[in-house]
Amino acid sequence: MAKNKTITVKGAEINIISKGNEDYISLTDMIHPFGDDSIIKNWLRNRNTVEFLGIWELINNANFNSVEFDLIKKQAGLNSFVLSVKKWTDATNAVGVFAKTGRYGSGTFAHRDIAFEFGSWLSPEFKIYLIKEFQRLKEEENNRLKLGWSLQRTLAKVNYRIHTDAIKENLIPVELSKQQISTVYANEADLLNMALFGIAAKQWREQYPGTEGNLRDTAALEQLVVLSNLESINAMLIHQGKTQAERLVQLNSIAINQMKSLLNNKQLKKNQIK
């Protein structure tokens, strides 16, 4: 469960939490301008709501208990019918709505698809503002991720200059032709590509013909961080007189360890989605 984010809609501060790659919006926060928890209870006992929740689960949840859903749907609409979030999730294994307590918000949360539908129940105007604020939040998050990627790509290019200077000073005799020098640079660039991506630039182009950019332009943020480190480390190994074969083995081992560390770093994941 990721740390919560908030948006403000018509004066209501609404918490949003993430589970995996999906966002869940607090229905409890959404009802503040309209009334108390009875609004959510009345919405849940509505037959149209039950059908909508069931269809959403059938599409998105492979473990959804459709047999129990059919039994609940048959009762929906009766004067005696009452449905709570807990009863719904316990009976059907539903994942679209859930109730929680804890540090990052308490109350009833629903997947954004369901929360937008609930917004229609509250007020069409409220739903429109909710969607606009949610979209604004996601755009800001995407822009921050793009900026982070751009900064790491720039850092990789700066380190690449350090890397090529080390090649020039230690691997390229002055009598080589420009074409020969270019070949050495390309070989050293592919040394890093092989250590990190497991593929050479030419092989990548053959596998993905017509793709814009190059192998490194498609790299994830974590890969760019490791690439920057590898370029600096390779420059140091070149100065130490290590052979290309020795450097490849060492750089590959470093790349594996650093990628595992970055991908398992929970704090880094939290910072990326703040």
DSSP string, 28-79: HHHTTTT--THHHHHHHTSHHHHHHHHHHHHHH-TT--HHHHHHHHHHTTST
Question: What pLDDT is recorded for position 150?
Answer: 60
pLDDT tens track for 157-169? 656 665 666 655 5
Q: In which band, very low, low, confident or very high, does the pLDDT at 227 lie, cut at 50, 70 and 90?
A: confident
- In one-letter notation, the amino acid at residue 49 is T
The count of other CB atoms within 10 Å of the CB of residue 9 is 22
Distances in whole angstroms, Cα of residue 170 to Cα of each of 10, 158, 236:
65, 19, 11
Percent of residues, the chain, with pLDDT higher than 90: 24
Question: What pLDDT is recorded for position 86?
Answer: 92
Is 0.85 topped by the overall pTM? no
